[in-house]
Amino acid sequence: MELKDIAARFAIEGKVLDIKPLGNGLINDTYKIKTDGPKDYVLQRVNNAIFQDVDLLQNNIVAVTRHIRKKLEAAGETDIDRKVLSFVPLVDSDKTYCVVEDKYWRVGVFIPDAFTYETVDPKYSRFAGEAFGRFEAMLADIPDKLGETIPDFHNMELRARQLREAVAADKAGRMKEPEVQEILATLQPYEEEMCKAERLHREGKLPKRICHCDTKVNNMMFDDKGNVLCVIDLDTVMPSFVFSDFGDFLRTAANTVAEDDPAVEKVDFKMDIFEAFAEGYISSAKVFLTPLEREMLPYAACLFPYMQAVRFFADYINGDTYYKIKYPEHNLVRTRNQVALFKAALAKVPQMQAFLATL
């Protein structure tokens, strides 16, 4: 079946003119549908090897976007259609996805005149921090019970276990590479410390809240003046520690280079981006953050490069079955980069703590 036949199953206004690839996500396949009507659309194939319960996932997203829409309406917000995503039902039912030849598809409304960036300056970082804090604050009272679209997605204990399993299985025969052994030895000593959020949660000291869980820089839309419009890529919205959103944003935004830049010597953790983001985030999240959550934000800034290193590394060892790769060593290059970022962030924890104390 062709893309235009899939698009035809959704209640799209106007005639479809063309459908072209959009963006650079590592998981789903995304296309822009251009129409002759008032709106354009985004057609997406949800990767159901990774998101195994697409029904739960779409229910989450519809609940979240409806809740945010209501809040924006109540706040007298203008331009709501650019400030929250909306999904298009099928022609013959109110479901917002369809299954075609075992593939899952959905259509959202394309947000016009909006931009995403791969890097941000401190000013944008502050706006982003404020926006993610607000996103979490708006979802604090969502009445719907959201499921985990990927169970234990940001559970560091699970990620560490998956790495151990990958090492034991050695499916791609990569454990014989000396560098693989070296990276493993580098990561290992930090594992226990990095797993502390899970322990604190079991002890009842750390709550889970509804978080975005994929706050890469490029998952935020800005208008042409640099104002944040909305947060996109909602597949991973689920209960998690606030560290997810704080840490994952900085993982991409505070890195001096892209997450897959092979020039590891250029990797550093930008403190100005951290400071601006932390300031923005705390300004809107202070209404719900506990003292412990706040105190652990520098831990979050280290945890996410660490977790991502573990995830890229496990995927490399498994023979690249999860992340899309562009060349055979791509996941190894990503791993090196994230290990370097982890170390850079770790070295700056005292500076981060000192800054947070000034807020």
Site residues (vs ligand GN1, CB under 6 A) = 25-27, 50, 214, 216, 233, 236, 259, 308
Sort 200 into a burial class: Cβ within 10 Å, 0-12 / 13-18 / 19+.
middle
Dihedral, CA of residue 149, residue 155, residue 159 and residue 164, to nearest 10: -130
- Window 110 to 169, contacts with Mg ion (CB under 5 A): none
Q: Which among Mg ion, ligand GN1, none contacts residue 125 (Cβ within 5 to 8 A by kind)?
A: none
**What count of other Cβ atoms lies within 10 Å of the Cβ of residue 349?**
14
- The Cα 209–Cα 302 span in angstroms is 20
Report, in Å, the least distance between residue 228 CB and ligand GN1: 18
Which CB sits closer to ligand GN1, 40 or 259? 259
Which CB sits closer to ligand GN1, 59 or 338? 338
Report, in Å, the least distance between residue 128 CB and ligand GN1: 15
Q: Which among ligand GN1, Mg ion, none contacts residue 356 (Cβ within 5 to 8 A by kind)?
A: none
Q: Is 108 in the site for Mg ion (CB under 5 A)?
A: no
| Terminal CA-CA length for the chain | 55
- The Cα 83–Cα 267 span in angstroms is 33
Look up residue 193 and give its two tokens.
Answer: 């410390």
- Window 217 to 246, contacts with Mg ion (CB under 5 A): 219, 233
Candidates 6, 25, 238, 244; binder of Mg ion (CB under 5 A) is 25
Which CB sits closer to Mg ion, 248 or 320? 248
Report, in Å, the least distance between residue 209 CB and Mg ion: 21
Which CB sits closer to Mg ion, 233 or 279? 233
Report, in Å, the least distance between residue 233 CB and Mg ion: 4
Q: Which among Mg ion, ligand GN1, none contacts residue 50 (Cβ within 5 to 8 A by kind)?
A: ligand GN1
Partners of 220 in beta bridges: 231
* Contact by Cβ (8 Å): 21, 99: no
User: CA separation (Å) from 192 to 169, 188, 262?
Assistant: 22, 8, 28
Which CB sits closer to ligand GN1, 25 or 129? 25
Q: Per-residue DSSP letters for 153-184?
A: TT-HHHHHHHHHHHHHH-TTS-TTSHHHHHHH
Report, in Å, the least distance between residue 218 CB and Mg ion: 6
What phi and psi values does residue 175 have, to the nearest 5 degrees? -70, -15
Report, in Å, the least distance between residue 17 CB and ligand GN1: 27
Report, in Å, the least distance between residue 342 CB and Mg ion: 21
Which CB sits closer to ligand GN1, 72 or 210? 210
* Contact by Cβ (8 Å): 292, 203: no
By DSSP bridging, strand 209-211 and strand 238-240 are antiparallel
Which CB sits closer to ligand GN1, 96 or 244? 244
Residue ranges binding Mg ion (CB under 5 A) = 25, 219, 233
